[in-house]
Amino acid sequence: MSSKRAIVIGGGVAGLSAAAYLAKGGFEVTLLEKNASLGGRARQFSEEGFTFDMGPSWYWMPDVFEKFYNDFGFTTSDFYDLRRLDPSYSVVNKQGEAIDIPADKLELEALFERIEPGSALKLREFLKEAAYKYEVGINDLVYKPSLSLLEFADIRLLKGLLKMDVLTNMRSHVKKTVKHPFLQELLEFPVLFLGALPQNTPALYSLMNYADMDLGTWYPMGGMYKIIEAFEKVAKKQGVKFGLNQDVISFNYSGSKIIGVNTSTDSYEADVVVGAGDYHHLDQNVIEKKYQSYSATYWDSRKLAPSCLLYYVGVNKKIKGLLHHNLYFDTDFNLHSKEIYTTPKWPEKPLFYASAPSVTDKTVAPEGKENLFLLIPIAPGLKGDDEAIRKKYFDEMIARIEKQTGESFANDICYVKTYSVSNFVSDYYAFKGNAYGLANTLDQTAILKPSLKSKKLENLFFAGQLTVPGPGVPPSIISGKVAANQIFKEFGLIK
């Protein structure tokens, strides 16, 4: 057992994961979080009887969560009641009809066949390939620290990489599978989680379709924050200590090592540090210039995943016709995507996402009321997210939901809180107000992502959505484990 002191900066999913693994490996761990509660982008708040998850709402890849719990001798049901949603979600098409996407594979194939005769078999093939990519990708590739290309040089992986469409893009891959525009959009939708356009995302990521259509969409009763509570319990059980309202503002150095971490109020000694806050902020604003791994120009040239306009809404009645997850793809995504990625501006007629967790979970809204979470993806760094612009999009979305469901509820709205670019910056020091970190484009994959290990400081490592393997709750969990394992290796605790 080592009694080395580890400081983990950031109490989001990645920081909690790294802290738990490090403590299990024998480190004396203190996790410092700038905000008053843990969870980072996955925080939760309650107002007027409603309980709102602030960020993630899609529980995908339950196997990754289960593996985390298993690593500490637990299982998912030790912490929460996880339910599979059926239908998984609905997609509103260009004609304004909501198409429910069934959880059952045969029903899903039947839906494909109805829309495009002959497509059921093609879907089956597509998902078989996606299953292979998931197996190699999630069990092997994402656990590589990506510090050197040599890590990918074993035969199984090399063979795998060839079969994994790393050099084709998602759009071409999907177009080869189905012709109908609705089915194409449906197969491209999971790529939106990766923060880049289908044409810029390697077809490797059809593994996300396997996650969607085979592994399914799940929900922890009580809300997504159950994950954070569970991670906190796991970490505490390993002996992790927590410091809330502890904004890390600088380090003390000796040679090329960090020996101390300073917050606005306290100082902590450290043998090793994991930066699991926003990587750009730590690298550019906390670390002394001569120790920074990257230049301002490097950061500026990164392609970020979108930011978003978010609304947490309480409604005084139930809204018939809404599922737990509803994708409003009733507008032209090509135009909206240009407004996010090519010529960043406030979108003219955006697609959006509406979640109503109160459809599944009575505990998140008072009886007879609906809890709504609305999200419009927007370009990172957009200026002017003032009250007027937030109100304009809010009114438009409510009108579109009313029209599509045939339920009027604008006058029954009893609570609204909005959240956007400037809030991401002030709450998390998010670079350009990004919501999901870096886009998963080919030139920002694996060794081409900001490195999990500092280039200048021997005992500084990074975890979280801006380093490997990428954005999303499951990858952030994995990133904490990969950072901890790299530390064990460098401290001679594992080979």
Nearer to ligand FAD, 172 or 245 (CB): 245
Check residue 310 for interaction with ligand FAD (CB under 6 A): yes
Window 448-467: residues binding ligand FAD (CB under 6 A): 464-465
Separation of alpha carbons 28 and 324, rounded Å: 41
CB 16 within 8 A of CB 65: no
Indicate which single residue of 333, 369, 471, 482 sits in contact with ligand FAD (rule: CB under 6 A). 471
Check residue 196 for interaction with ligand FAD (CB under 6 A): no
Check residue 44 for interaction with ligand FAD (CB under 6 A): no
Check residue 352 for interaction with ligand FAD (CB under 6 A): no
Shortest reach from residue 436's CB to ligand FAD, in Å: 5
Window 106-165: residues binding ligand FAD (CB under 6 A): none
DSSP letter, residue 235: H
Check residue 473 for interaction with ligand FAD (CB under 6 A): yes
Separation of alpha carbons 314 and 493, rounded Å: 50
Shortest reach from residue 158's CB to ligand FAD, in Å: 29
Shortest reach from residue 148's CB to ligand FAD, in Å: 23
> What's the sign of the alpha-carbon dihedral 436, 437, 443, 445?
negative
CB 418 within 8 A of CB 376: no
DSSP calls for 172-213: HHHHHH--SHHHHHHHHGGGGGGTS-GGGSBGGGGHHHHIII
Residue 47, H or E segment: strand 44-47
Check residue 42 for interaction with ligand FAD (CB under 6 A): yes
Separation of alpha carbons 480 and 18, rounded Å: 4
Cβ neighbour number for residue 458 with a 10 Å cutoff? 12
Indicate which single residue of 15, 137, 190, 380 sits in contact with ligand FAD (rule: CB under 6 A). 15
3-class state of residue 192 by DSSP: helix
Separation of alpha carbons 486 and 471, rounded Å: 20
Number of chain positions touching ligand FAD (CB under 6 A): 41
Indicate which single residue of 24, 34, 173, 324 sits in contact with ligand FAD (rule: CB under 6 A). 34
Pairing label, strands 248-254, 257-263: antiparallel
Name the segment binding ligand FAD (CB under 6 A); options: 207-215, 430-438, 441-449, 453-461. 430-438
Residue 50 C-beta-side C-alpha neighbours within 13 Å: 25
Structure tokens given for 490: 């460098």
Could you give the maximum distance between any two Cα atoms of the chain, in Å? 68
Name the segment binding ligand FAD (CB under 6 A); options: 32-40, 131-139, 154-162, 164-172. 32-40
Indicate which single residue of 226, 280, 281, 432 sits in contact with ligand FAD (rule: CB under 6 A). 281
Nearer to ligand FAD, 40 or 198 (CB): 40
Check residue 277 for interaction with ligand FAD (CB under 6 A): yes
Shortest reach from residue 379's CB to ligand FAD, in Å: 15
Shortest reach from residue 305's CB to ligand FAD, in Å: 9
Check residue 436 for interaction with ligand FAD (CB under 6 A): yes
Check residue 190 for interaction with ligand FAD (CB under 6 A): no
With residues binned 3-state (H G I as helix, E B as strand, rest as coil), the percentages for the chain, rounded to 5, are 45, 20, 35
DSSP letter, residue 355: E
The number of residues in the chain equals 495
Give the residues lining the site for ligand FAD (CB under 6 A): 9-15, 32-35, 40-42, 55-58, 246-248, 276-278, 281, 286, 308, 310, 375, 428-429, 435-437, 464-465, 471-474, 476
